[in-house]
A = this chain, B = another copy of it.
Amino acid sequence: MKKKPVRNAFYAQSGGVSAVINASACGVIETAMRSRQIGRVYAGRDGIVGALTEDLIDVGRESPATIRGLRHTPAGAFGSARFKLKGIEQNRAEYERLIEVFRAHNIGYFFYNGGNDSMDTALKVSQIGAALGFPITCVGVPKTVDNDLPHTDCCPGFGSVAKYIAVSTREAALDVASMARTSTKVFVLEVMGRHAGWIAASAGLAGRSAEEPPHIILFPEVPFEQQRFLERVRAAVERHGYCVIVVSEGAAYADGKFLAEGGTRDAFGHTQLGGVGPVVANMVREAHGYKYHWAVADYLQRSARHIAARVDVEQAYAVGKAAVALALKGVNAVMPTIVRRSDRPYRWSIGHVPLGEVANKEKKLPREYIREDGFGITAACRRYLEPLVGGEAYPPYRNGLPDYVRIKGVAVRRKLKDEFKV
């Protein structure tokens, strides 16, 4: 049997980062470094931009402790990029450049850690590599806090945001409940999820029943009706003394217009200033005059490694590890998936799907996960979500703060002469 030639591996992070994307990096790197089939392990500085500009990080120059520490470090340690490669027809030069860089550095394995867009890119790289006579094994590593990838039980990154939002909602609701008699009666928390309501839904875990807060969740999947909403707010305040509202940044009217576009202007007449949280809070004030507060978690929610779900960290590592294992077996143009085996106790294993079935597809919150009235989650949704926030995985602390690692990021010596502008 002919021994396969040793080739190098390239790993890149893509799109919005998460609390556990580095755990996937850790899974990829530790597994790749143990393989005799893989020579050196490189990472793109700032994702695919690093590949295009031949700015590769030599992962072998990092200590094993740093690599291990990625497992408990949030955000993108190698840098990520919001950079979508256009279609091959529109921009063949970019794809050819990638292959040129990969060829120069003998890169035979490409691991791309991202969401739908990134799976599309990985697929195209695999196709063009073959067409240009430089075959590359391309495996996607799923990552997205939005949980909108199809064919996988969930996406690494989501469980930890879900836990953060559920915990924060439970805590803030206790705060509001204890003050409502003489102070704030309405509290609004804005959460991420522009197109899919998975993160908003996770706030529903904060209450153990429909009687407990949050009293209202506004999903992107449910067209916003102002009167029904305002009536529901009043009913909650009259019944419970206060009302906790969780609103997805993607909440929109029936005509598709985002609530966040709903009229907030600065002194110069510009829109875009406000988030949807203050817009909703203000609506309540105008209609009912209740004292309110609002919070916008923004990046805090997706970088909150301090409250990551243990199962999420484990899955993030597992998909990274599986990606390398698949590549070493010669399986090309696939993405590892998480397969749910049972709800309680939660059991899962790793499967995989062709990249083409994932690329550019979006999994929205199904109707049966949204309560009939549109303002909360169903028992089925709770059954789905609850295991995903399970377990704690605290980072180590030093002087009272999480001891997150930072890479040295030593650059690989360039081999190509020409600069590439991105």
- Of all chain B residues, the one with the shortest Cβ separation from A206 is B401
Stretch of A61-69, A71-79, A133-141 contacting B (4+ beta carbons < 8 Å): A71-79
Verify if A200 is at the interface (C-beta below 8 Å from B): no
Q: How far is the CB of A382 from chain B (nearest CB, A)?
A: 10
Verify if A41 is at the interface (C-beta below 8 Å from B): no
Inter-subunit contact A77/B273 (CB<8 Å): no
Verify if A314 is at the interface (C-beta below 8 Å from B): no
Verify if A303 is at the interface (C-beta below 8 Å from B): yes
Verify if A302 is at the interface (C-beta below 8 Å from B): yes
Task: Give chain B residues whose Cβ lies under 8 Å from the Cβ of A309.
Answer: 400
Stretch of A86-94, A160-168, A348-356, A367-375 contacting B (4+ beta carbons < 8 Å): A160-168
Docked pose: A282 CA to B272 CA in angstroms: 9
Question: Which of these, B73, B175, B187, B404, contacts A74 with CB under 8 Å?
Answer: B175
Inter-subunit contact A181/B391 (CB<8 Å): no
- Do A171 and B82 form a contact, CB below 8 Å, given A179-B17, A264-B266, A282-B273? no
- Of all chain B residues, the one with the shortest Cβ separation from A45 is B181
- Of all chain B residues, the one with the shortest Cβ separation from A310 is B400
Stretch of A3-11, A100-108, A293-301 contacting B (4+ beta carbons < 8 Å): A293-301
Docked pose: A235 CA to B279 CA in angstroms: 33
- Do A400 and B163 form a contact, CB below 8 Å, given A13-B178, A171-B304, A182-B82? yes
Inter-subunit contact B179/A82 (CB<8 Å): yes
Docked pose: A279 CA to B273 CA in angstroms: 8
Inter-subunit contact A267/B273 (CB<8 Å): no
Verify if A366 is at the interface (C-beta below 8 Å from B): no
Task: Give chain B residues whose Cβ lies under 8 Å from the Cβ of A81.
Answer: 179, 181-183
Docked pose: A77 CA to B177 CA in angstroms: 9
Inter-subunit contact B282/A270 (CB<8 Å): yes
Inter-subunit contact B178/A77 (CB<8 Å): yes
Docked pose: A264 CA to B295 CA in angstroms: 17
Task: Give chain B residues whose Cβ lies under 8 Å from the Cβ of A79.
Answer: 178-179, 181
Docked pose: A286 CA to B272 CA in angstroms: 12
A263-284: which have CB < 8 Å to B?
263-268, 270, 273-275, 277-279, 281-282
Inter-subunit contact B264/A263 (CB<8 Å): no
Task: Give chain B residues whose Cβ lies under 8 Å from the Cβ of A399.
Answer: 386, 389-390
Verify if A39 is at the interface (C-beta below 8 Å from B): no
Verify if A420 is at the interface (C-beta below 8 Å from B): no
Task: Give chain B residues whose Cβ lies under 8 Å from the Cβ of A307.
Answer: 306-307
Inter-subunit contact A264/B274 (CB<8 Å): yes
Q: How far is the CB of A260 from chain B (nearest CB, A)?
A: 11
Docked pose: A72 CA to B175 CA in angstroms: 14
A356-410: which have CB < 8 Å to B?
386-387, 389-392, 394, 397, 399-402, 404
- Of all chain B residues, the one with the shortest Cβ separation from A172 is B299
Q: Please give the residue numbers on chain A whose beta carbons come within 8 Å of chain B beta carbons, in ascending order.
A: 13, 16-17, 19, 46-47, 49, 73-83, 163, 166-168, 170-172, 174-179, 181-183, 187, 189, 205-206, 262-268, 270, 273-275, 277-279, 281-282, 286, 293-300, 302-307, 309, 386-387, 389-392, 394, 397, 399-402, 404
Nearest 6 A/B pairs, CB to CB? A263-B267, A76-B178, A295-B298, A389-B400, A75-B174, A171-B303
16 more A-B residue pairs beyond the given contacts A205-B400, A275-B294, A295-B300, with a C-beta to C-beta distance below 8 A: A46-B182, A47-B182, A73-B174, A74-B175, A75-B175, A80-B179, A163-B400, A166-B400, A167-B306, A171-B305, A174-B404, A175-B299, A175-B303, A273-B279, A295-B297, A387-B400
